[in-house]
Amino acid sequence: MGRTPIHALFKAEIRGECIFMVAHGKLVTVMKTGSQTQTHTLASDGPVRTIAISADASRVAVAADARTLSVFDTHSWAQHAQILLPKRPTAVAFHGSDLVVADKFGDVHRLSVGGEKIKLLLGHCSFVTAMILDLDLGHVITSDRDEKIRISSFPDTFQIEGFCLGHTGFISAICKVPNRPREIVSGGGDGLLLFWDVLSVSETQRIVLAELAPELKTEPGKHPHSIIAIKACTISDSIAILFEGIPFVYILRVEKTSNQYSLHTKLSLPFLSALDIEFDHNGDLVVALGPGSAFLVACAPLKKEGNEIQFGEISLDSGIATRINSMATSEESEPIDYSAYLEVLRKRTEEEVREKRGNSKRKGDDEEVLGAEPKGDGKKGRGGGGGKKSKAGQ
pLDDT at 303 over 80: yes
Quick one: which H or E segment has residue 90? strand 89-95
Lowest mean pLDDT among 79-93, 177-191, 322-336: 322-336
Q: What is the pLDDT of residues 128-162, one digit of tens each?
A: 999 999 999 999 999 999 999 999 999 999 999 99
pLDDT at 370 over 90: no
Neighbour-count burial for 128-159, b at 16+ CB within 10 Å, e otherwise:
bbbbbbbeebebbbbbbbbbbbbbbebeebee
Strands 308-311 and 388-389: unpaired
pTM above 0.85, yes or no: yes
Give the span between the Cα atoms of 278 and 320, in whole angstroms: 12
Q: What is the pLDDT of residue 377?
A: 41
In the beta sheet, which residues pair with residue 50? 63
Q: What is the pLDDT of residues 202-239, one digit of tens each?
A: 999 999 999 999 999 999 888 899 999 999 999 999 99
Q: What is the pLDDT of residue 348?
A: 66
Which pLDDT band holds residue 33 (cuts at 50, 70, 90)? confident
Report the amino acid identity of residue 384: G
Report the amino acid identity of residue 298: A
Q: What is the pLDDT of residue 369?
A: 36
CB atoms < 10 A from the CB of 313, how many?
12
pLDDT at 192 over 70: yes
pLDDT at 329 over 70: no
Which pLDDT band holds residue 340 (cuts at 50, 70, 90)? confident
Higher pLDDT, 91 or 380: 91
Q: How far is CA 192 from CA 47, 168, 209, 219, in A?
A: 29, 9, 6, 16
pLDDT at 350 over 90: no
Lowest mean pLDDT among 184-198, 207-221, 326-340, 378-392: 378-392
Task: Compute and round to an integer the Cα radius of gyration of the chain.
Answer: 21
Q: What is the pLDDT of residues 58-67, one digit of tens each?
A: 999 999 999 9
Share of the chain above pLDDT 90, in %: 70
pLDDT at 380 over 60: no
Q: How far is CA 112 from CA 234, 248, 332, in A?
A: 32, 41, 32
